[in-house]
Structures are given as C-alpha cells and as structure tokens.
C-alpha cells in the first residue's frame, strides 16, 4: 500500500512540475515605469488599495497574487506615498506575481486599478481609477518581466452626477424662462 501511495505522489509531482515552470511571471511594482497612483492631483496616500489584473486576453483579466502569498488586494505602503517626489504619484513593490494562463515569453494583458481607502472593494468604491488594459511580454520564473505600465492611475474624487440629478437639472432648465426687460 505504501508503494502505491509513493507511486501516486510521484506521478502527481511529475505532472505538476512542468506546469510550474510554464507559468509567466511579472514584477509587481510601478517604479520601473515611473507611473504613479494619484488621488486627484496628489500621490495616493498610504493605505490606498489597488489590484494588478492579468490574463491571456483582455477579457480574461483576474487579480494577480504575489509569489509570497500576499494579495490580490495590495495597499500603497507608507514608504511608497510620493516616494519619488511630489507630483509623480505613489508607488508600490510587491515582489513578483505568477500568471498561470500565459507561458514565459508570451503576451499578457494587464490593468492596474485603485480605489479610495474608505471602500473595501473595487466594485463598491465610489471613487476609483484604473490604467486601462495594455499588453506586454511576460517573463519566466528566473527573470520576471518589468511591469511596463503605460499610464498612471488617477483616482477621481469628483463624483459623476447621478441620473436623478441630471434629470432634475434638465427639467429646471426647461421650466426656466428669462424675464423680459422693458425697453427704455
């Protein structure tokens, strides 16, 4: 019975090993690209949550975990807030992450999104921003590719007006009539 367990364990390890080496890796930092995360016009404060999304297609993006087990939601560290000076944004460095759906040397699609620290998730956040999707080549386990972020992330603090507010404004403009002045 012990031999059967050993044989099954050996088969599992041998079939999983090639898959571990066939996963692409990406550095989870925005220092290399010098594209910071902003909250309005200032660097995002420490504690601002963000995610790095990756996938084999632009429609299959999922959050990336760091190889050390952290994530998928990260936070701007204290030392990352305005780390390269005022007006450049805030930065992060979470090591590297693995993208299982893309082999080393393949093309990966990426997006970075961040939101206000008062909201627990991207979906519930009223103030949020993202880079938009871009593609780049992914690295291997030995040499992760640098995150080539093409644009900064701007978390917009000016909310978009609601449908009811816009409807009310439209009705008010329709009902408003300037008064005629008598001619002198």
Query: 10-27, pLDDT tens digit by residue?
Result: 444 444 444 445 699 999
State residue 172's pLDDT score. Answer: 79
Task: Give the confidence band of 3 by pLDDT, cuts at 50, 70, 90.
Answer: low
Buried b or exposed e, range 125-156, using 16+ CB within 10 angstroms: bebbbbbeebebebbeeeebbbbbbeebbbbe
Query: 32-51, pLDDT tens digit by residue?
Result: 899 999 998 889 999 999 99
Cβ count within 10 A of residue 23: 17
Query: 146-177, pLDDT tens digit by residue?
Result: 999 999 999 987 666 677 777 877 887 788 77
| Cβ–Cβ < 8 Å for 34, 84 | yes
- DSSP one-letter code for 66: B
State residue 183's pLDDT score. Answer: 72
Cβ count within 10 A of residue 90: 27
Question: 141 or 168: which carries more pLDDT confidence?
Answer: 141
Percentage of the residues of the chain whose pLDDT score is greater than 90: 59
State residue 1's pLDDT score. Answer: 53
Q: Kindly state the average pLDDT of the residues 122-133.
A: 92
């Amino acid at each position: 019975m012990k031999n059967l367990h050993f044989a099954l364990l050996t088969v599992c390890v041998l079939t999983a090993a090639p898959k571990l080496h066939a996963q692409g890796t990406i550095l989870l930092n925005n220092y290399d690209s010098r594209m910071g995360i902003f909250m309005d016009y200032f660097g995002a404060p420490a504690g601002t949550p963000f995610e790095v999304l990756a996938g084999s297609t632009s429609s299959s993006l999922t959050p990336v975990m760091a190889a050390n087990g952290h994530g998928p939601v990260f936070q701007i560290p204290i030392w990352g807030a305005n780390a390269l000076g005022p007006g450049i944004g805030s930065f992060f460095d979470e090591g590297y992450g693995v993208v299982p759906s893309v082999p080393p040397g393949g093309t990966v699609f990426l997006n970075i999104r961040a939101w206000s620290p008062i909201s627990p998730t991207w979906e519930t956040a009223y103030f949020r921003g993202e880079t938009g999707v871009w593609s780049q080549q992914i690295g291997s386990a030995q040499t992760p590719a640098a995150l080539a972020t093409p644009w900064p992330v701007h978390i917009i603090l000016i909310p978009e007006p609601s449908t009811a507010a816009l409807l009310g404004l439209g009705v008010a403009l329709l009902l408003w009539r300037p008064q005629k002045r008598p001619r002198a």
